[in-house]
Chains A and B, each alone.
Chain A
Amino acid sequence: MAVHSFQEHFDSLIDRDITIEPKDWMPDDYRKTLIRQISQHAHSEIVGMLPEGNWITRAPSLRRKAVLLAKVQDEAGHGLYLYSAAETLGITRDEMYNQLHSGKAKYSSIFNYPTLTWADMGAIGWLVDGAAIMNQVPLCRTSYGPYARAMVRVCKEESFHQRQGFEIMLTLAKGTEIQKKMAQDAFNRWWWPSIMMFGPPDAESPNTEQSVRWKIKRFTNDELRQKFVDVTVEQTKVLGLEMPDKDIKWNEARGHYDYGQINWEEFWNVVKGNGPCNKQRLDARRNAWDEGKWVRDAAMAHAEKRKARTAAVKAA
């Protein structure tokens, strides 16, 4: 078979919505784009454990503590599913970690913001997980099989995350004055970073067009962002909180809410490492990894010793 026929075969699978599997031929750029996107997604889950993990020991009730702990644990699980999906493309988890720890790989910038009050647990669940779900649900139909299957599992588990976040916000919003203040303050701080989560505007998003064509992405950044704004405005009414963006206004002609100017300068700065917690987050990940090395090595050494002993017994 000539090379061009591999390409044609691949294109026809994509066109017919047939998933690509690990051993199928795929263009190099498709593989590279997937590795970048999936590992970035996995890193986001792992780094994303930190801002919320910050409140596990301080959760205000035993029920909230258990829920939060289970939720942060789920994020570890999601990271694991995604790393596994990326591993089917010929990269190891250790390599991906190296890319994260060296600063070469990116993760979602939202996790470079601090969690200042308990209400942040509500705002993260409601807004950050809400935005993530909006990004992730279409990915359950993404063209690469292992990624799509990992996302199905992630989405199934993710649904409780947003609900518990909204429940926290609702409890606070209907609570005492100070609780309401907490909720509004968290909303104000998390709103803009949340809508930045969908990435740069389509006009400035170099990878979007190709990714949409390959059905790695199913919607553009701006499409998803608009959808998120529309549903969040409605949910805010239920909470009885104020939208942090004064320019939010229903646009009859578009059938969508218009929203204010996003501060992209801040976005790019946080991406580049100038956010309030970039260093802290990476340090935490590096420390966990470096300090865990002797543990991982010991487990390997023990497994090898055991194998050798079993072999020796069999030989005797």
Chain B
Amino acid sequence: MNLAYTLRLADDALIIGHRLSEWCGHGPILEQDIALTNTSLDHLGRARSLYQYAAEQFNAMGTEEKKNYFSSVAIQNMVSAGETLDEDDVAYLRDGWDFKNLLLLEQPNSDWAYTVARSFYYDTFNFFFFSELQNSSDTTLAAVAAKSLKEITYHLRWSSEWVVRLGDGTEESHKRMQQAINDLWMYTGEMFVMNDADKDAVQKGRGVNLDELKPKWMERVQSILDEARLTLPAATWMQSGGKDGKHTDNLGYILAEMQFMQRTYPGMKW
């Protein structure tokens, strides 16, 4: 049973994919508009694979267990009616507190520097995380990891290069990039918090030990920031909560927009 772990990874992918998709049609130059949309599509694709797997695991549970697993009325009604869930039900019918994505990923795009900084922190994490997840004893997760790693390697290259470009570009871009790096820093600690789902997954050989990831992440971030002539933010209070369903205001708005069709017109095929 790896549902909680699968769902969290799916939520991460969906929320960052959603945020990046907001750039489509509004990028600073056509070529980069297209590039960022490719990345958004990669995340969205990974989200779908993971939600499909999550739905499969959910549908395999006993009725009693299913009933209270999600508090969303829409899902509870489906369970009572004996219906099974699919990827869309899982994505569109869960309430905010059942979303376990990292707080970092729901932060707004703000400007190109914030978007780059958010992706850079996450892509770096993802690169090491999915490298390890390839060894998961859960063969579905291992397969998703292997496919995703190729995409993530490219994402990391893209975001690292932009950190360097903006950090070591003009005076204005340097200032903006440093600001974004500083402001989002407080959301990076959460990536390495080992909660119950993490501990359980690691113990069963399915998940990744985040304690081991942290030094690798730190080293890589430091080296790119050095190249970009940027300063690593000082140690500070790290805000967490997303992995336990306690979000910032942002998620509510994302879900209101994303889920509106499915919530307004329940049970229809699109």
Contacts and interface: CB of A to CB of B under 8 A. Distances in A.
A and B touch in the complex (CB under 8 A): yes
A100 interface: no
Contact of A287 (B21, B24, B26, B173): B26
Contacts of B27: 288, 292
A65 interface: yes
Given A73-B34, A118-B261, A298-B169, 9 more contacts: A56-B21, A56-B24, A58-B261, A60-B270, A61-B92, A62-B44, A73-B38, A297-B173, A302-B166
Interface stretch (A13-21, A32-40, A145-153, A171-179): A171-179
Nearest to B165: A302
A294 B261 contact: no
Interface stretch (B45-53, B60-68, B214-222): B45-53
Contacts of A289: 28
Nearest to B40: A69
A77 interface: yes
Interface of A: 46, 49-50, 53, 56-66, 69-70, 72-73, 76-77, 79-80, 83, 118, 168, 171-172, 175-176, 178-179, 284, 287-289, 291-299, 301-302, 305
Interface in B22-40: 22, 24-34, 37-38, 40
B249 interface: no
B97 interface: no
A62 B34 contact: no
Contacts of B254: 57
Given A291-B28, A298-B165, A58 B37 contact: no
Q: Which of B14, B37, B87, B169 has the most CB of A within 10 A?
A: B169
A58 to B, nearest CB: 6
Contacts, number: 140
A289 B32 CA distance: 12
B168 A49 contact: no
B87 A62 contact: yes
B257 A58 contact: yes
A64 to B, nearest CB: 6
Contact of A50 (B25, B31, B173): B25
B166 A298 contact: yes
Main secondary structure of the interface of B (DSSP, over half): helix
A57 B25 contact: no
B111 to A, nearest CB: 7
Contact of B173 (A76, A77, A295): A295
B93 to A, nearest CB: 12
B170 A296 contact: no
B24 A62 contact: no
10 contacts: A58-B261, A60-B92, A62-B48, A176-B268, A288-B27, A295-B173, A298-B166, A301-B170, A301-B173, A302-B168
Given A56-B21, A61-B270, A65-B44, A288 B26 contact: yes
A62 B47 contact: yes
Contacts of A69: 21, 24, 37, 40-41, 44
B164 A302 contact: yes
A273 to B, nearest CB: 20
A204 to B, nearest CB: 33
